[in-house]
Structure 1
Amino acid sequence: MTGIPLMIMIVAIIIAFFVFLYFVPINLWITAIFSGVRVNLIELVFMRIRKVPPGVIIQAQITATKAGLEVSTSDLETHYLAGGNVANVVSAMISADKANITLSFKQATAIDLAGRDVFEAVQISVNPKVINTPNVAAVAADGIQLVTKARVTVRANIQQLVGGAGEETILARVGEGIVTSIGSADSHKDVLANPDKISKLVLERGLDAGTAFEILSIDIADVDVGENIGAKLQTDQAAADLRVAEAKAEERRAMAVAQEQEMKAKAQEARAKVIEAEAEVPKAMAEAFRSGNLGIMDYYKMKNIQADTDMREAISGTKPTKSPGTGKGDKPKK
């Protein structure tokens, strides 16, 4: 029974020893001392309690100290607790110091917490980056479309990384400048002959204002001739004008047909009134006979005059008229 408590005690001592080494990282403290970093052992214990990995903080401070940078352990720990990348910030500061670029610890942490890769930004500031624009289509004054592709060489602007616009804004502004430059050209041949004019005009517009980059150069990589937009627009306009003219002609035709129908209706109405009036003639003659105002000899004289009139009209080629009282046209006498 004495062996079991002894074994339990040994296991407890081993566990306590490893717990002590976890909370009191003696090896890390010794490494820091020999690396020239003055750090208190109690401070490392408090890092463990605050759930900050001492290895990350001390290793970053050792790297900064060896590079000649003055960064306190408290600042590194604060940046880690804020969610920053301590190692990336220290690497960026070392790279900026070697390239003679002014970058303070406050600026580096602000850039890192803003969501940008501060180390990559320093690298782009040292080694400019080339951004390829997508195909940009623009139309010259003569109606010919040109499809252009450009290469934009940019350098990171450390002072504008926080709050500055990104690559998408640069590409949009360059595309807008290319469209404006080609659109102001009198002929597409001028653009094809001197594509460097596009670069000069775009660079003069100051497209990198308010962005996180500085545009160093804009080089036109390719210019292709596209469609004849002017001719296409004229064709579409002519087709639209033709449809409008056809619609107006159809409207005039419909109005003419309506007027013709109206005239026919009026003519039929007039003929109906004539027929109605002719129907009253026999009644009037009969009434004249009864009242004694018209004699038989007068009637025959009227018929002779009517026959003579019909003969004259037949000889002249006009249409014979209808004889009053009968409603029928009399044949001319031979």
Structure 2
Amino acid sequence: MGGFGTIFGIFGIIAIIILLIVFFTFVPIGLWITAFFSGVKIRISTLIGMRLRRVRPGRIVNPMIKATKAGLDLQIENLEGHYLAGGNVNTLVDALIAAQRAEIPLEFERAAAIDLAGRNVLEAVQVSVNPKVIETPNISAVAQDGIEVVVKAKVTVRANIDRLVGGAGEETIIARVGEGIVTTVGSSMSYKGVLENPDSISKVVLNKGLDSGTAYEILSIDIADVDVARNIGARLQTDQAEADKRIAEAKASERRAMAMAREQEMRAEVEAMRARVVEAESEVPLALANALKSGNLGVLDYYKMQNIQSDTKMRESLSKGKSLNSGKDNGNQS
């Protein structure tokens, strides 16, 4: 009996130890003690409820201790609700502490909304205290004289807490500043004016109110660099002249083709006319024979016609001979 009692006693001690381990694991007594001595009033049942809701108590209690020591009046239920909504409780508390130190009015609801919107609320508070410099990429613009100018600007912005939810980000600021630079340079008569007064670009762009609807407030726009690039106007004129030349060459080729086609057509017409003349001449003897047979043409008339043709041929030959002789005489005289 004594042996069985000893065995039961050992099992009892082991069971008690296991129960204590499970209890202290499930119930964060150490965290409760830390919170108690830090001035955070929280019940054991609240910590157990966090365990049941699958919330890590340390993620809530430690930021609560930090907020209490900083003098913030926060409720443990609000922090737990923000954690369950997917927010970052530690960053939220740090942002509230930083805003309090910088005397920036930031309520818990506003900070929670900013954090849940996907923005870094702590960074927003820091940028609101220390302005941030956004550097634009190289922006190409063309003045009215056709010279391309490459401009790089630095934009100093400060976060606007009230517009962080629903406000546009840095990409919108860069795009608007680039558009303003292109418009300002494009309205300049010459690129020399841009090089001489680069601050005129920043003044014009700054007066356009480019930060409306964004999460930032533009404090200043500084032109960091201005370089002269290509002569776009001359290049466009050259390209236009080349295009006009090609158009003229195409039209000239079209006219040549039309002229050649017309020439071929005229040659075909001439050959057709010659063929008709030869055909008509071949029918003359037959017509004369028919006229003689029918009595429409007399023999004397026929001989007169032959004489006339012989005289005509003789005169043509004499005229050709005279023209050849006159040409030879002129050559001898020379």
Partner of 1:105: 108
Partner of 1:212: 215
Q: Does 1:173 align with 2:176?
A: yes
Q: Distance in 1 between matches of 2:168 and 2:137?
A: 19
TM-score (norm: length of structure 1): 0.90
Q: Does 1:23 align with 2:45?
A: no
**Which of 250, 253, 269 pairs up with 1:250?**
253
Secondary structure of the 1:251 match is: helix
Q: Distance in 2 between matches of 1:193 and 1:232?
A: 24
Q: Does 1:64 align with 2:67?
A: yes
1:115-148 C-alpha deviation (Å, 9 max, x unpaired): 1111011111111111111111111111111111
1:170-203 C-alpha deviation (Å, 9 max, x unpaired): 1111111111111111111111111111111111
Residues matched between the structures, number: 318
Task: Tell which deviates more after alignment, 33-42 or 202-211.
Answer: 33-42
Partner of 2:238: 235
Extract unaligned runs of 5+ from structure 2. Answer: 322-334
Secondary structure of the 1:235 match is: helix
1:245: Cα distance to partner?
0.9
Q: Distance in 1 between matches of 2:59 and 2:262?
A: 98
Q: Does 1:186 align with 2:189?
A: yes
Amino acid at match of 1:38: K
Q: Distance in 1 between matches of 2:247 and 2:64?
A: 80
Q: Does 1:130 align with 2:133?
A: yes
Query: Among the aligned pairs, what percent are the same residue?
Result: 64
1:295: Cα distance to partner?
4.4
Amino acid at match of 1:63: K
Q: Does 1:121 align with 2:118?
A: no
Partner of 1:272: 275
Q: Distance in 2 between matches of 1:280 and 1:106?
A: 118
1:32-67 C-alpha deviation (Å, 9 max, x unpaired): 222222222222222222222222222211211111
Partner of 1:324: none
Partner of 2:160: 157
Partner of 1:14: 17
Extract unaligned runs of 5+ from structure 1. Answer: 319-334
**Which of 193, 202, 206 pairs up with 1:203?**
206
Task: Tell which deviates more after alignment, 45-54 or 284-293.
Answer: 284-293
Please give the root-mean-square deviation of Cα atoms over the aligned residues, in Å. Answer: 1.7
Q: Distance in 2 between matches of 1:25 and 1:298?
A: 151
Q: Distance in 2 between matches of 1:250 and 1:169?
A: 53
Q: Distance in 2 between matches of 1:12 and 1:251?
A: 107
Q: Distance in 1 between matches of 2:262 and 2:47?
A: 106
Q: Distance in 1 between matches of 2:302 and 2:49?
A: 147
Task: Tell which deviates more after alignment, 202-211 or 283-292.
Answer: 283-292
**1:24-63 residue pairs with structure 2 within 5 A?**
24-63=27-66
**Which of 216, 225, 229 pairs up with 2:228?**
225
Partner of 2:327: none
